[in-house]
Each structure stands twice: as structure tokens, then as C-alpha cells.
Amino acid sequence: MTLDTPSKAKPPILGLTQTRLVELLKEWLEPSYRAAQILDWVFKRRVLSFDKMSNLSRGLRAKLEEHFTLRSMTYSSVTGSHDTTRKFLFKLHDGRYVETVLIPANPSLYGEASDRLTLCVSSQVGCAYDCKFCASGLAGFTRNLTAGEIVEQIVQVEDLVKDRIDNLVFMGMGEPLANFTNLLHAIECLNASWGVGIGARHMTVSTSGLAPNIKKLADFPLQVRLAISLHGASNEVREKIMPVNRKHQLEELFAALAYWNSKRNQRLTFEFILIAGVNDSLDQARLLAKAAKPLLAKVNLIPYNTVEGLAWERPSEEQQDAFQAVLLNAGVTATLRREKGHDIAAACGQLRLKQETEEGIIDSLIPAKRITIGAGLA
């Protein structure tokens, strides 16, 4: 299987910020008012060919065509139906795949909106962080998505479903804070009035806990929300399932979150997957409550969603309820997401893994190898 090298491809124009476009027009000796015209064609009218940009000179259209592409990924498939969670698979220019998940009527978990469309977007192909329960990192890390590829997921899904996305969660494949610069550029294009126009408070960045970049994001002027994939309330338990904890221990993570809180006035979210016999003890629940309280964090409990090739299991419903009760009794806001629809979103990475394995892009033996690791820990 031959893959095009990323360097050969023209970047998607959807990741170009207004500032950069103005600079570029200056270099090309074009007047700066052209920027607004171009952005209007790109983000508002969403034309699919530079030739359609009828108020630009032929020369400028040719120049844009030479440097950029209007669409860099092709829609490959969708699973799910209109009223349920839908998983879109996009093929990137280099033959790789990313998943983007559309969740209808997300009951005010992230952002204030309910009955609205939430999109779960990917930030990388694969993931380097190797969380032991997650499908995204099963075949390791391939590459960062460009800012344009991140933005394009939203634009393509909006165009496919002929509707606007209200909320964005960076909870698809990859670790968004490990692709920091591209993430910030993408957020700028997604938020700007010249761009996609989604309010910053309707965007949630989810991280496995890269403490230094959490602090950097706290200094970013746009008021995006933050979710932490905690999944363990002590270093000992967290380290078993999230190797990132060896690098950034809970003390460092919580200090970065205190800094975040000093800069923001919206509440943090702790994501906590419940895995039977691993992190679902009531002791963990008590430690979680102790950590969440001073940080004013809301807790989302998510029963583990089975991943093919991994040996983890979700706890019984009684255990899930008991875990939640400890949090609620301690005065912590804690929701328990049992609905099926969310399961698909939580397990982002599986569809792409299946597709790339079938096409022989990734080694199908890798997930099998991981079964042993999973079983060993459980």
C-alpha cells in the first residue's frame, strides 16, 4: 500500500486564519479587503471550487488554487441513523482515516445547550498516550491533524447533514493538547465571526492531563471549556491505565487545574470511566470527591464501553450507582451516562482502526498484542 507523503499535499484553506490570510495577500501584492471576500466564499458560502469565487480576479483565484485545497478529505462512510449518534469516517489525503461523531440532543453535559447537535472531533491520527482502555492508541501515533483538517471535520459534517453544529467536543481520536498550535489555530477559525462562528463556551477541549499545556490553554483568550480524562483518583490506580500519569502526576495536574480555575469562571469537568475491578472501588469514589470539591469540578461517570481486543469490563449497575452516590453525598455534581448513544462517542477510534486494518495500513496484530496487557492489569 502506498501512501502519499503529507508534504506533497496542499493545505486545506479552512485552517487559514484571517491574520495569516492578510499577510499572504500582502506578499502577493493584493489589497487586504480581499481577505473578507475570500473568507466569505470559504466559510459562509462554502464553495467547492476556487473558480466560483466570482468577485476575485482570475489571477488571485489561480494563486489560491496553487497554494490551497478547499476540501482535503473525502467522506467515506457513516454508521448510525438520523435520530441517534452518527459516526462519520473521513479519508485524509494520505490515505489515513479519522472519525467524527455527531451526537444529537446532548443533555447539557458540555456547554449550556441541550437539544442541540454536538460534534466530537479528532485532533490526531492515532494517539501516543497509550491509555489502556482506549481504541485510539491501539496502533500508536501516526501524525497530527493540521488546523485545516480539524476545521474541515466540522464543515463537512455540517454540509452533509445540512444543519449547524452547536457544540464541539475535542474528544475524538488523539490528544488535542499534544497538537497545541494546530488546535489553537483551528479553534480560532471555528470561533471567529469570519469563520464557522461557534461560541468558545460551546467548545470543550478534553485532555488526558498534559499539565503544562493546560496552563498555556488557561492563558488563551478564548473561553473554551476544559474536560479532564481522570479515570483514576490516586496515582497508583491512574498509572495502571494511563501511562501519562507517570509524567504528570495528579499533584501536578491538580495544580494546573487550580491555575485554570484562577483564570476562568466556568466549571471544569472530570471524565471518569468506570472499569470493573480497576477504578470502581468506593475508596476511589471518596478520593475523587476529595479532588473534585476544591476544584469545583463536575464529574461525568461513564461505564466503560467495550473495545474489541481489550479485556476490560464495566461494573454492575449497582456498583455504578454506589460510586455515584458517594460523590453526590459529598456534595459533588456527578452524572452517570448510561445511554447507548454516548457509548459510540466514547469509543472513538474503533471505526478508523477497523478500516485501516482492513486496508492493511496498520498491523492487525497490534490490537491482539494489547489483549495481554489489558488482561494482565485487570
- Catalytic machinery residues: 99, 348
β-strands 203-207, 97-104 pairing: unpaired
Q: How open is the CA angle 345-300-220, to the nearest 5 degrees? A: 85
Nearer CB in complex with ligand SAH: 17/124: 124
Rg (CA), the chain: 21
C-beta separation of 126 from 145 below 8 A? no
Nearer CB in complex with ligand SAH: 207/355: 207
Closest CA to 55 of 75, 39, 34, 72: 34
Question: DSSP states of 107-151 as a string?
Answer: -SSSSS--SSEEEE---EEE-SS--TT-STTTT-EEEEPPHHHHH
Helix (H) or strand (E) holding 318: helix 317-329
> Which residues in this chain contact ligand SAH in the complex, by CB under 6 A?
131, 133-134, 171, 175, 206-208, 229, 271, 273, 302, 304-305, 307, 346-347
The residue to which cell 478508523 is assigned:
352
Task: Find the shortest distance in angstroms from Cβ 45 to ligand SAH.
Answer: 32
C-beta separation of 68 from 16 below 8 A? yes
Task: Find the shortest distance in angstroms from Cβ 24 to ligand SAH.
Answer: 32
Nearer CB in complex with ligand SAH: 52/338: 338
**Cell numbers given for 59:** 489571477
Q: Which residues pair with 75 in a beta bridge?
A: 90
Task: Find the shortest distance in angstroms from Cβ 309 to ligand SAH.
Answer: 11
Task: Find the shortest distance in angstroms from Cβ 71 to ligand SAH.
Answer: 25
Distance CA 204, CA 246 (A): 25
Distance CA 246, CA 123 (A): 23
Task: Find the shortest distance in angstroms from Cβ 184 to ligand SAH.
Answer: 16
CA dihedral in degrees (58, 62, 65, 67; nearest 10)? -130
Nearer CB in complex with ligand SAH: 125/134: 134
Task: Find the shortest distance in angstroms from Cβ 44 to ligand SAH.
Answer: 30
C-beta separation of 245 from 235 below 8 A? yes
Nearer CB in complex with ligand SAH: 334/347: 347
Nearer CB in complex with ligand SAH: 302/334: 302
